[in-house]
A and B are shown apart, each in its own frame.
Chain A
Amino acid sequence: MDRRFPFKVLEHIFSFLDANEDRNSVSLVCKSWFETERRTRKRVFVGNCYAVNPLKVARRFPKMRSLTLKGKPHFADYNLVPDGWGGYAWPWIEAMAARRPLLEEIRLKRMVVTDECLEKIAASFRDFKTLVLTSCEGFSTDGIAAIASTCRKLRDLELRECNVDDLGGDWLSYFPETSTSLVSLDFSCLDSEIKLSDLERLLSRSPNLKSLKLNRSVTLDVLEGLLRRAPQLVELGTGSFSDELDPEEISKLTKALSELKQLKSLSGLWDLLPEYIPVLYSVCPRLTSLNLSYATVQMPDLVDLLSRCSKLQKLWVMDMIEDKGLKTVALCCKELRELRVFPSGADLDEEDVALTEQGLVSVSEGCKKLESVLYFCVQFTNAALVTIAKNRPNFRCFRLCVMEPFAPDYRTQQPLDEGFKAIVERCKDLRRLSVSGLLTDKAFEYIGVHAKKLRMLSIAFAGDSDLMLHHLLSGCESLKKLEIRDCPFGDTALLENAAKLETMRSLWMSSCFVSFGACKQLSQKMPRLNVEVIDEHPPKTRPDSSPVERIYIYRTVAGPRQDTPEFVWTIHKNPEVGVSRLSTR
């Protein structure tokens, strides 16, 4: 008797599987499950574009409709990865264009995308619907124009914090003259001015538009006209909010904003002037997401705004909110799930620091649903961390950046070991953690022992020895991404825990003490890791003891990549060869 499920039944069952982690597990059961799963997967996620060959991915998933890729290491966001390192989208676009012309969605993060890529997308995928580029670079507004003009079914075009060669606002006029299917449009990262009439007409013929994020050059006086043409918006990113308006214009804008009955998310607000805050009052009670991180508003004006936002779930703000403002948030924003407080760059040597650890303590007390925090602060205490952990054991993401490197608890002068211990002990669901301040190896012992669900960890200027890395690699079972800068160790811990690295997506270490010899040994020991040495100032000779500037280690089934620039070396698997630069450039 054939004990296997008929293919059709399996296929039907698998169609209910959404999460790729589940699908990955399912694929490992047996060959027929692998085959069935791969034929039904529609959304493909590749967390490291160099982990696998694009052609293989294209061939494996014939029903692929959506592709998400990530390229450069996360620390590229902070200029720690030199330009030209890699992360090129082209090989992926080319492979998909040839084999998967029914692809509808492409989402790329930290990748190099050229105009050629965009033109290829426009020309190859007839049902193309969604393009989301986050922190990407390498393309110009010409490429955007190609997408706008050719993709007739385009629904989402989002450029999030990309570095675009902005040749002018013309691209906006390339959308088809007929009614569009646009649902979301985000050009907030572009610099140049777009033509108002182009935008107004586009809005008038885009009845499905739910999310619109303007760039800074869209002035305040034209906002009212735009909103009247898109009253159905759910997400709005304004342009500049500082131009002078006369009382009549202010009143018209206030009215236009109050008519946005579906509005849930507000961002942009560049240079928001205090006198314009009342204009926003009508939308506040409905808002679930508010991004004030470009609004230069200070206290006490911020209170007027925040005290009206009782439904707020996500708040991004600058440190001008001060402890006082965060107290208001703790009182009024009981639905808050995510808080990010960014540094405004105000003089860090100031004596009266108005944003302290107290602010975060208040929010952790008052906002019971808070689960995700990014907090920049000049200094901190263990006591505060312990209180925060006690208040909020439900943290999933906790990123604290004490901006003074090696800063101890400023009251006790002790390292912040005990504080972070409390965090990892109590927050059992913690998935992402960034630590800072003065930390000894002990802190990392605690993390290794307690942070069993931790997937991503970021460390800077911490630890005493290799023990630190050893605790992490041997203790954190779920660890997938580890990034470390300026910590005083490397070799021993890496080599002892080499096997762990194959269970992770990647490890980044820069300005640590990793020697060239250790890189070679690691690479030989672990054939399925790419060990990349990134050295902008390589020494003339490389004895084994010489330290390397940066290493980036990641698991891959694609072998060493062929597109390395001259400052990247993938350590060769053959011990006699040592180092080879495998690209032909």
Chain B
Amino acid sequence: MAQEKVNDLNLKDTELRLGLPGTEQVKEEQEVSCVRSNKRQLQSDNEEESTPPTKNQIVGWPPVRSYRKNNNNNGVSYVKVSMDGAPYLRKIDLKTYKNYPELLKALENMFKFTIGEYSEREGYKGSGVVPTYEDKDGDWMLVGDVPWDMFSSSCKRLRIMKGSDALALDSAL
């Protein structure tokens, strides 16, 4: 199930598809009980299945208590990204980015837009596109205000505002 990765961006994520959002994601995350077979699961040839379960998909493997898995924020951390006007949501793994420029670049690529320049006083000026996020307390914040670490651990979802909403925000700032 290797995914092509270029510069840490998952190319599959940048593909435009007409399917329902998240369908491929679901298939990838589906856990599979080890199938009883005469061959060892991971050494099976492709005659068995076209995509044998990877080590991350085997039930109960690695043997970490689910309590610990659920609590562990440090693994994969997918958040939904919506963009005003786009027909469906996307999902990104915040852990694959180390700082704001990387994240914003990825978002620009994903939704095919350009973001204005960020300044602490004035937010994002220029392009009428404003990235915002919902944090752990349920408040909507401007992306970029807090240190990256704090952002990535408290961000629950992203919303890229544009059009009149964004203009209103811009002028308010």
Where the two chains meet, the residues of A that have a C-beta atom closer than 8 Å to any C-beta of B are 75, 77-80, 135, 161, 163, 189, 216, 242, 244, 270-271, 273-274, 293-294, 296, 318, 320, 342-346, 348-349, 376, 401, 403-406, 458, 460-461, 485-486, 488, 511, 513, 547, 549
Judging by beta carbons under 8 Å apart, are A405 and B41 in contact? yes
Q: Offer 16 A-B interface pairs, CB within 8 angstroms, sorted by A.
A: A78-B66, A135-B65, A161-B68, A242-B154, A273-B149, A274-B149, A293-B68, A342-B64, A345-B69, A346-B74, A346-B95, A406-B42, A406-B43, A461-B40, A486-B34, A488-B40
Residue of A nearest to B65 (CB): A77
* Docked pose: A95 CA to B1 CA in angstroms: 53
The one of B34, B61, B76 that contacts A78, using a Cβ cutoff of 8 Å: B61
Structural contact, A401 and B34, CB atoms closer than 8 A: no
Residues of B within 8 Å of A403, CB to CB, are 55, 61-62
Contact B59 A79 (CB under 8 A): yes
Question: Considering the chains assembled together, what is the distance between the CA atoms of A342 and B153 in angstroms?
Answer: 19
B59 touching A405 by the CB < 8 A rule?
no
A460 x B63 contact (CB < 8 A): yes
Answer whether A294 and B60 are a contact pair too, CB < 8 Å, given A78-B65, A135-B65: no
Q: Is the CB of A404 within 8 A of B55?
A: yes
CB distance from A241 to the nearest CB of B (A): 11
User: Is B62 a contact of A376 with CB atoms below 8 Å?
Assistant: yes
Question: In the complex, A273→B40 CA distance in Å?
Answer: 43
Q: Is B58 an interface residue, CB under 8 A from the partner?
A: yes
Alpha-carbon distance A293/B75, docked complex (angstroms): 12
Closest A residue to B75 by beta carbon equals A345
From residue B57, how far is it (CB to closest CB) to chain A in Å? 11
Q: Measuring CB to CB, which residues of chain B are less than 8 angstroms from any residue of chain A?
A: 2, 33-34, 36, 40-43, 55-56, 58-69, 71-76, 95, 146, 149-150, 153-154
Q: Do A348 and B59 form a contact, CB below 8 Å, given A273-B149, A406-B40? A: no
Contact residues in A for B58 (Cβ distance below 8 Å): 405
B72, A344: Cβ atoms under 8 Å?
Answer: yes
B78: min CB distance to chain A, Å: 12
A320 near B74 with CB under 8 A, answer: yes
- Which of B55, B60, B149 is the one whose CB lies under 8 Å from A79? B60
B residues near A485, Cβ cutoff 8 Å: 34, 60
Which residues of chain B are within 8 angstroms of A80 by Cβ–Cβ distance? 59-60
Taking a contact as CB atoms closer than 8 A, the residue among A78, A458, A461 that contacts B64 in the complex is: A78
**CB-nearest residue of chain B relative to A513?**
B36
Nearest CB in chain B: distance from A189 CB, A: 7
Q: Which residues of B contact A244 (CB under 8 A)?
A: 146, 150
Question: How far is B45's CA from A344's CA once the two chains are assembled, in angstroms?
Answer: 30
Asked whether A401 and B67 contact (CB < 8 A) given A242-B153, A406-B43, A511-B36, the answer is no
5 more contacts with CB within 8 A, not counting A401-B62, A405-B42, are: A79-B59, A344-B72, A485-B34, A488-B40, A547-B36
- CA of A346 to CA of B93 in the docked complex: distance in angstroms? 11
* A contact residues around B2 at 8 Å (CB): 349
A406 CB contacts on chain B under 8 angstroms: 40, 42-43
Q: How far is the CA of A273 from the CA of B149 in the complex (A)?
A: 8
Q: How far is the CA of A130 from the CA of B60 in the complex (A)?
A: 32
Nearest opposing residue in chain B for A293, CB measure:
B68
A79 to B149, CA, bound (A): 32
Inter-chain contact A343/B59, CB cutoff 8 Å: no
Select from chain A the residue with minimum beta-carbon distance to B72: A345
Which residues of A lie under 8 Å from residue B68 when comparing CB positions?
161, 293, 342
A390–B66 CA distance with the chains assembled, in angstroms: 34
- Chain A residues lying within 8 Å of B59, measured Cβ to Cβ, are 78-80
Looking across the interface, which residue of chain A has its beta carbon closest to that of B149? A273
Which residues of the other chain, A, contact B56 by a CB distance below 8 angstroms? 348
Contacts of A271 in B (CB 8 A): 73, 153
Determine the chain A residues whose CB is within 8 A of the CB of B40 once the complex forms: 406, 461, 488
Kindly provide the distance from the CB of B35 to the nearest chain A CB, expressed in whole angstroms.
Answer: 8
A77-B65, A296-B153, A406-B40 known; A511+B34 contact, CB < 8 A: yes
Residues of A within 8 A of B34 (CB): 485-486, 511
Q: Once the chains are docked, how many angstroms separate the CA of A473 from the CA of B69?
A: 33
Q: What residues of chain B lie closer than 8 Å to A242, measured between beta carbons?
A: 150, 153-154
Q: Note all chain B residues with C-beta closer than 8 A to A296.
A: 73-74, 153
Residues of A with C-beta under 8 A to B95: 346
Q: What are the 8 closest A-B residue pairs judged by CB atoms, nearest first?
A: A345-B75, A78-B60, A344-B74, A161-B67, A511-B34, A78-B63, A296-B74, A80-B60
CB distance from A378 to the nearest CB of B (A): 10
Chain A contacts for B146, CB-based, 8 A: 244
- For B76, the closest partner residue in chain A by CB is A345
Interface centre among B33, B43, B74 (most CB of A within 10 A): B74
Residues of chain A within 8 A of B69, CB atoms compared: 345
**Closest Cβ neighbor of B31 among chain A residues:** A79
- Closest Cβ of chain B to A436, distance in Å, is 9
Q: Is the CB of A294 within 8 A of B72?
A: yes
Which chain B residues border A346 with CB–CB below 8 Å? 74-75, 95
Distance in Å: Cβ of B141 to nearest Cβ of chain A: 12
A549: which B residues are within 8 A, CB to CB?
36
Task: Give the complex CA separation of A11 and B111 in angstroms.
Answer: 80
Distance between Cα atoms of A342 and B154 in the complex (Å): 22
Of chain A, the residue at the smallest CB distance from B39 is A488
Bound Cα distance from A78 to B34, whole angstroms: 14
A511 touching B33 in the complex, CB below 8 Å, given contacts A318-B74, A406-B43: yes
Contacts of B73 in A (CB 8 A): 271, 296
Chain B residue with minimal CB distance to A319? B74
Does the CB pair B67–A189 fall under 8 Å? yes
- CB contacts (< 8 Å) of B55 on chain A: these are 348, 403-405
A75 to B64, CA, bound (A): 10
Are the C-beta atoms of B72 and A79 separated by less than 8 Å? no
Q: How far is the CA of A511 from the CA of B69 in the complex (A)?
A: 23
B36 touches A401 (CB 8 A): no
Contact partners of B64 in chain A: CB under 8 A: 78, 342-343, 376
* Docked CA distance A547–B55 (Å): 24
Q: Is the CB of A401 within 8 A of B71?
A: no
Interfacial chain B residues near A461, Cβ < 8 Å: 40-41
A511 to B61, CA, bound (A): 13
Residue in B closest to A75 when the chains form the complex, CB atoms? B60
Closest to A162 in B: B67
| Chain A hits for B153, CB < 8 A | 242, 271, 296
Taking the closest CB of chain A, its distance from the CB of B11, in whole angstroms, is 15
Contact A273 B36 (CB under 8 A): no
Alpha-carbon distance between A75 and B34 when the two chains are bound, in angstroms:
15
Assembly CA distance A461 to B58 (angstroms): 11
Q: What separation, in Å, do the CA atoms of A80 and B75 have in the docked complex?
A: 22
Q: Are B72 and A161 in contact (CB under 8 A)?
A: no
Closest A residue to B58 by CB, please name it.
A405
Find chain B residues with CB under 8 A from A189 CB.
67
Within 8 Å CB of A513, what residues of B? 36
State in angstroms the CA–CA spacing of A404 and B68 once bound together. Answer: 20
